[in-house]
């Protein structure tokens, strides 16, 4: 049977992301886990943090496997992710904190990282000149999982014990992931892809030269700060709603689904817009400035329900933008032949943020309070803006920018702001 972008690109991409995106449903499961097991809150907080850490690190070290054989990486995603969910369920069932941390944090986390990067390059190759849309579709599907899974998990929690929820979903996700490993197929690079790679010196690529470059380091910092801020809110979303008086389970699930939808829209919309921009990182300016604005607003009205929901909707949207626009930024700067490798390397920022973001919000919610949390996030996003401007200047100094973007650039004004 002839290969095509629908059966061998879009379908397996959706199946993979439908499964692994469920990691963001952890906020709905935490309270039930604590009630059933008697764990301290540290167990559930660290389970999420460890999962994100191993996501980033497995992506960083698994990029070469994805580059070499995406079907094999998809199969290992099936093994590790499914085993992680079963092990988490058994850990909760037996009230074993160690097994819960191992299952959800380590084993599932490895599956998350491999699964996250496996379909991205494949989709970009299937979509030709619409690489931003392709990356947006792939990473939007990760966000879509929360929209679908949140009400399903809420439904299951009303009917079965929390550990059985893990068993049910592990079975469903296992079938989806095994099917994706069988269906996925990566097309070869086109002449246009090879020419674009030659223009950025992809043939001289080395991992050391990438990670030691100022351009990569600054982009890593931008990514790390954005993820840290996003995780600080997403990982504690239910608890933040409770803190401002939104306690009804149905209402919390509704708001979580709305914000997850915002994440999905952010992933898809601005990544698609990238295809029409000469400087692929331009959406990052909007991402950063809007994040600063909404955290300042929330800090001014920390107990206001509308301000709280607006903040999380905005940050979820921009959190999605950060992830979905990254592959095309990497493609423009380092080429597509090694995209999975560089994408994996940059996702180590996600690993580091996973150890910080969740713990930051836990600290503020347990002590200083919401206003202090929002002020801290406003400072964080301001630092992100500084790093982003520094990255853009470094990129231009290296001669990487589009010639039209550099032409007629006024001193001190980022050239990419002139190329919309």
What pLDDT digit, counting tens, does each position of 117-140 carry?
999 999 999 988 888 888 888 887
Give the C-alpha separation, 302 to 372, whole Å. Answer: 9
**Whole-number pLDDT of residue 407:** 33
| Integer CA distances (angstroms), 116 to 74, 238, 300, in order | 10, 25, 36
Question: 207 with 345: CB under 8 angstroms?
Answer: yes
**Whole-number pLDDT of residue 236:** 79
The packing angle between helices 214-234 and 305-334, to 10°, is 150
Winning range, highest mean pLDDT, from 131-140, 191-200, 339-348: 339-348
* 414: in domain: no
Question: 109 with 50: CB under 8 angstroms?
Answer: yes
What pLDDT digit, counting tens, does each position of 17-74 carry?
989 988 878 878 998 999 999 998 889 988 988 998 899 899 989 988 998 999 999 9
Q: Classify the phi-psi angles of 284: left when phi > 0, otherwise alpha if psi is within -120 to 50, otherwise beta.
A: alpha
* 77: in domain: yes
* 159: in domain: yes
Lowest-pLDDT range of 204-208, 270-274, 305-309: 204-208
Percentage with pLDDT > 90 across the chain: 46
* 340: in domain: yes
Q: What are the residues whose beta carbons fall under 8 Å from the beta carbon of 155, sequence distance 6 or more?
A: none
Give the C-alpha separation, 320 to 263, whole Å. Answer: 5
- pLDDT surpasses 90 at 381: yes
* 46: in domain: yes
Which is higher by pLDDT, 255 or 410? 255
Average pLDDT in the 348-363 region? 84
Q: What is the largest CA-CA distance in the chain?
A: 67
CB contact burial 242-253 (16+ within 10 A = b; e otherwise): ebbebeeeeebb
Nearest to 255 by CA among 317, 309, 318: 309
Average pLDDT in the 359-383 region? 88
CA 339, 341, 345: angle at the middle one, nearest 5?
115
**Whole-number pLDDT of residue 1:** 65
Average pLDDT in the 101-128 region? 93
**Whole-number pLDDT of residue 420:** 30
Q: What is the mean pLDDT of the chain?
A: 86
Enclosing domain of residue 295:
10-184+204-399
**Whole-number pLDDT of residue 202:** 62
Average pLDDT in the 209-214 region? 88
> How many structural domains are present in the chain?
1
Percentage with pLDDT > 70 across the chain: 93
Lowest-pLDDT range of 272-276, 347-351, 364-368, 396-400: 396-400
Average pLDDT in the 340-367 region? 86
- pLDDT surpasses 70 at 228: yes
CATH of the domain at 55: 1.20.1250.20
Q: What are the residues whose beta carbons fall under 8 Å from the beta carbon of 69, sequence distance 6 or more?
A: none
* 212: in domain: yes
Strand, helix or coil for residue 3: coil
Q: pLDDT tier at 177 (50, 70, 90 boundaries)? A: very high
* 172: in domain: yes
What pLDDT digit, counting tens, does each position of 243-291 carry?
888 877 778 878 877 877 888 788 888 888 888 888 899 999 999 999 9
Lowest-pLDDT range of 95-109, 337-351, 369-383, 399-413: 399-413
- pLDDT surpasses 50 at 216: yes
- pLDDT surpasses 70 at 408: no
Average pLDDT in the 159-163 region? 94
């Amino acid at each position: 049977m002839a290969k095509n972008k629908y059966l061998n690109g879009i379908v397996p991409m959706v199946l993979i992301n439908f499964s692994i995106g469920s990691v963001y449903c952890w906020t709905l499961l935490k309270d039930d886990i604590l009630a059933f097991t008697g764990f301290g809150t540290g167990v559930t907080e660290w389970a999420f943090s460890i999962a994100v850490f191993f996501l980033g690190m497995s992506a960083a070290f698994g990029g070469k496997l994805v580059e070499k054989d995406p079907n094999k990486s998809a199969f290992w995603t099936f093994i590790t992710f499914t085993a992680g969910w079963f092990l988490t369920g058994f850990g909760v069932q037996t009230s074993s904190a160690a097994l819960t941390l191992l299952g959800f944090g380590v084993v599932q986390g490895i599956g998350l990282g491999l699964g996250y990067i496996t379909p991205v390059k494949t989709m970009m190759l299937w979509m030709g000149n619409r690489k931003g849309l392709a990356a947006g579709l792939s990473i939007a599907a990760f966000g879509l999982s929360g929209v679908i899974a949140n009400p399903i998990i809420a439904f299951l929690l009303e009917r079965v014990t929390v550990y059985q929820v893990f068993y049910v979903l592990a079975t469903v996700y296992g079938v989806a992931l095994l099917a994706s490993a069988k269906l996925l197929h990566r097309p070869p690079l086109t002449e246009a892809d090879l020419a674009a790679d030659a223009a950025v010196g992809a043939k001289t690529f080395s991992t050391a030269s990438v990670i030691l470059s100022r351009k990569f380091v600054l982009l890593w910092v931008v990514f790390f700060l954005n993820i840290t801020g996003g995780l600080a809110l997403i990982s504690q979303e239910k608890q933040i709603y409770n803190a401002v008086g939104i306690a009804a389970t149905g209402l919390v699930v509704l708001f979580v689904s709305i914000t997850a939808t915002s994440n999905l829209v952010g992933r898809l919309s601005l990544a698609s817009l990238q295809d029409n921009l000469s400087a692929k990182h331009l959406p990052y300016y909007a991402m950063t400035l809007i994040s600063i604005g909404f955290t300042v607003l929330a800090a001014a009205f920390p107990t206001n329900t509308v301000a709280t929901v607006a903040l999380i909707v905005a940050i979820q949207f921009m959190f999605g933008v950060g992830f979905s626009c990254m592959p095309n930024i990497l493609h423009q700067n380092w080429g597509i032949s090694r995209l999975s490798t560089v994408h994996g390397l940059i996702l180590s920022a996600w690993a580091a943020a996973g150890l910080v973001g969740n713990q930051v919000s836990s600290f503020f919610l347990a002590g200083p309070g919401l206003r202090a949390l929002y002020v801290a996030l406003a400072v964080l996003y301001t630092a992100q803006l500084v790093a982003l401007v520094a990255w853009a200047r470094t990129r231009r100094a290296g001669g990487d920018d589009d010639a039209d973007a550099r032409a007629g650039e006024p001193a001190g004004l980022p050239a990419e702001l002139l190329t919309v």
